[in-house]
Structure 1
Amino acid sequence: MRSRGGGKARLGQFPAEREEHIDQWIDEGPVREEAEQAVQRARPARANNFELDSEVRDRVNAAVRSPQRAAKLRQRLLGAFVALERERYTEARRIGNQLAREMSGVAAVHELIGLSNYRLGEWRKAAAALERAQTLHPDPDTMPILMDSLRALGRHKDVAEVWKELRQASPAHEILAEGRIIMAGSFSDQGELADAIKEMQPARSKPKRVREHHLRQWYMLADLLDRAGDTVGAVRFFEQIAKADSGYVDVHQRLRALGR
């Protein structure tokens, strides 16, 4: 599902070297693709013209006494997010770990480390860093990525807890959609297809204007219905996707497989 990658506002990505140890991922289905959309979205509109957003600048300034040192660390943090944006994940993580020694109380530093580890497939390290970032400064934008990291580790109760926090935060519709898809995926991982489908019920409504996050939710719902043996329901949503975007991922192959 058309995903790229990114870091927060901060910016971030180069297919960097993979670490020798990669935590085992549960599956590579639509939920993983959804979470990668979340990584892209975690680069919010706060980053303009390759500058840190004002909130992050203020937090760095508050954490470092020397104005000169703070200015240098801000530039290093910005450079790390640029590296993340350009897919140089190992470099971004290395800089992030160095910055954490002096700015352990700055959420953006831990977010950088978490996003880098996520892209490197280091789910355990990603979850730890993103949990730390959320503790320091709750941010709905990165909650779906934290949820997906926890899901990859089989920490389904924690996935549900973060999902609850995300809903309470009343985030943008696309971020809520990302969280919903990952929560449904968590149920699916546990063999609870009925609960997964129930979680996706809000996606059944057809909006006046179809956006990307609607397509992603319909795809997840159609996939779940197909796996649950509800061919009619699966066809309905795959056809709904095809009508809105005929070139959307493998929707035509899925319809052919269902005899349409």
Structure 2
Amino acid sequence: MDEGPVGGGSSKRSAPRRSSRTVTVRAPQLVDLVGAKRAVRLEGRLSEAATAYSAERFPDARRILSPIVAEVPDLAEARELYGLTLYRLGRWKDAARELDAFVELTGGSTEQHPVLADCRRALGQYGKVDELWEELRTTSPSGPLVNEGRIVAAGALADQGKLAEAIALLGKGFKLPRRPMEHHLRRAYALADLYERSGDVPQARTLFAQVARAEPEFLDAAERAAG
């Protein structure tokens, strides 16, 4: 799952840790699409792109993926990774196109709905954000994935000046656990940001402080708690 834009993105999300590991991509469908010999070559190129993406070398990943997607547009793995790469580069419209194709090619996968919804949010397409959130919520996949979708949906409401609704969506039934995981911290941080924007500074400070105590280096939580 993608962890959000590199900078200037539409959501306040923490960036993933940079990785130097080599990523291997397996795409069995390639054999049927391009033949066994060509499939080996393209799998190698996909692995190079995935490794570049993992290391946050997004322009390199884009350069590798663009011709692959042009050659094999029906390969879901390529469209997914290309969409995530474009998203990380802030190319919201292009990223949405690729991730829409990924959803179609996979028969309706919601794995990248939070990222796709964030693209739609950046484009001001709030109706589509609502649709994607509803699909994700009712499908009920993993908790962290639903959490990401909830953050984006709440952010879209806040963008429209609906801060009370945004806080209600993000805060419903939520309490930071004693040993929070990253998706808990992300939700708490986003909720604190909404409280601050709504003028409830004490509540915002409390949440920022809780996040900072759990993970001192989490974004600028400590600084905002003290501010």
Same fold (TM over 0.5): yes
1:79 paired to 2:52: no
Aligned length: 222
The alignment-based identity, stated in percent, is: 36
> Which residue number corresponds to residue 52 of structure 1?
25
CA contact (8 A) 2:4 2:115 kept: no
CA distance in 2, matches of 1:240, 1:98: 46
- Residue 177 of structure 1 corresponds to which residue in structure 2? 147
1:101 corresponds, among 29, 49, 70, to 70
Q: Is 2:13 aligned against 1:33?
A: yes
Tell me which residue corresponds to 1:239.
Answer: 209
8 Å contact from structure 2 (residues 120, 129) kept in 1: yes
Q: What's the CA shift for 1:102?
A: 2.9
Structure 1 range deviating more: 177-186 or 73-82? 73-82
Find the counterpart in structure 2 of residue 213 from structure 1: 183
Aligned partner of 1:239: which letter? A
**Candidates 87, 97, 117, aligned match of 1:118:** 87
Q: CA deviation at 1:157?
A: 0.9
1 CA distance for matches of 2:81 and 2:161? 33
Give the aligned partner of residue 69 of structure 1.
Answer: 38
Compute the displacement of 1:246 (Å): 3.7
**Which letter does structure 2 place at the counterpart of 1:119?**
R
Query: Structure 2 CA distance, aligned partners of 1:49 and 1:83?
Result: 9
Q: 1:227 aligns with which of 172, 182, 197?
A: 197
What TM-score comes out, normalization by structure 2 length? 0.85
Distance 2:120 2:154 in 1: 13
Secondary structure of 1:124's partner?
helix
- Tell me which residue corresponds to 1:20: none
Give me the TM-score of the superposition, normalised by structure 1: 0.75
Given that residues 203 and 214 in structure 1 are in contact (C-alpha distance below 8 angstroms), is that contact kept between their aligned partners in structure 2?
no
Selected match of 2:102 from 127, 133, 156: 133
- Sort the Cα spacing of 1:92 and 1:229 in 2 relative to 1 into closer, same or farther, 3 A: same
Question: Matches of 1:155 and 1:189 in 2, distance apart?
Answer: 11
Offset at residue 203 of structure 1 (A): 5.8
Gaps of 5+ in 1: 6-14, 16-24
How much has 1:187 moved relative to structure 2? 0.7
> Following TM superposition, where does structure 1 have runs of at least 4 consecutive aligned residues deviating by more than 6 angstroms?
none
In the alignment, structure 1 residue 250 sits paired with structure 2 residue 223 = no
User: Please, which of 129, 134, 138 is the counterpart of residue 164 of structure 1?
Assistant: 134
**What is the distance in 1 between the residues matched to 2:58 and 2:218?**
28
Aligned to 1:9: none
CA distance in 2, matches of 1:163, 1:102: 32
Deviation at residue 4 of structure 1 after TM alignment: 8.6
How has the CA–CA distance of structure 1 residues 145 and 202 changed in structure 2, closer, same or farther, with 3 Å as cutoff?
A: same
Cα distance in structure 2, aligned partners of 1:4 and 1:201: 21
